[in-house]
Amino acid sequence: MKHIFVIDDEKNIRDILQKYIESEGYKVTLFSDGRNVYEEMQRLKPDLLIIDIMMPHLDGLELCKKIRTASDIPIIFVSARDGEFDRILGLELGGDDYLTKPFSPRELMVRIKNIFKRMEKMVNTSTRTLKIRDVFIDLDRRYIEKDGQEMKLTTKEYELFVFLSQNKGKPFTREELLEFIWGYEYAGDGRLIDDLVKRIRKKLEVNQSKVELSTIWGYGYRMDE
């Protein structure tokens, strides 16, 4: 049974989400703010987090940054902030998805299931390991290393990196990558892909890897062979 944390300071939203999520067969743990979430993650090992951004004591963005120092667990932000800047910022900090309040609990469930399906698809791929130049990928463990050192990627960074690695040499448009990474059209915002690529390149650079993600100008991206 998948275990989902719901972190939101609005009790009615917590109650509604608990009802919908549990009706789909998932286990739910509720939090009214972000203060104890990180510690409880270590104890309860959840599979996904739903985090409100505007909360007292510790807001969702700060909580996400704290979590991303040690975990690539999928994170879905929910927020009353509907500006493009807030959405992009949430995703840049390592969020995997972003829903603006008010939202349909059914839509949230679709997005939760899409995340789990893509994670399962990667685990079930016929090739259990990949070697891309000097980077080794263990698909069973969702583990990437360079020269014996782990290269930490968020869930979306990992999914994009593995997808391009499995299709090395083939160019993809931003729209195709959006469809694969999020499973639906994300407002046609190709900048989300640009940001993911930028973050992956930075981590490759930090790890002094020879792997190259090439920009196909006016089109998209490709993992060089």
**pLDDT in 10s for each residue of the chain, 225 residues:** 899 999 999 999 999 999 999 999 999 999 999 999 999 999 999 999 999 999 988 889 999 989 988 888 999 999 887 766 677 778 778 888 888 888 899 999 998 998 898 877 666 554 578 888 899 999 888 889 988 889 988 888 898 999 999 899 999 998 888 888 876 555 556 778 888 899 999 999 999 999 999 999 988 999 997
Of 61, 84, 194, nearest to 49 by C-alpha is: 61
Report field, pTM of the whole predicted structure over 0.85: no
Q: What is the span of the domain harbouring residue 52?
A: 3-121
Of 26, 21, 89, nearest to 59 by C-alpha is: 89
* 111-133 pLDDT, tens digit each: 899 889 887 766 655 457 888 88
- The count of structural domains within the chain is 2
Provide the β-strand partners of residue 65.
none
The pLDDT, as a whole number, for residue 170 is 92
The DSSP line for 184-219 is: S--TT-THHHHHHHHHHHHHHHHTT----EEEETTT
CATH number (domain holding residue 109):
3.40.50.2300
Q: How far is CA 116 from CA 34, 105, 109, 123, in A?
A: 23, 17, 11, 11
Structure tokens at 122: 């990667």
**Among 89, 121, 153, residue at a domain's last position:** 121
For residues 82 and 38, membership in a common domain is answered with yes
For residues 145 and 168, membership in a common domain is answered with yes
* 5-36 pLDDT, tens digit each: 999 999 999 999 999 999 999 999 999 999 99
The pLDDT, as a whole number, for residue 29 is 97
Structure tokens at 151: 């290269």
**Half-sphere exposure (CA, 13 Å, Cβ side) for 222?**
12
For residues 93 and 53, membership in a common domain is answered with yes
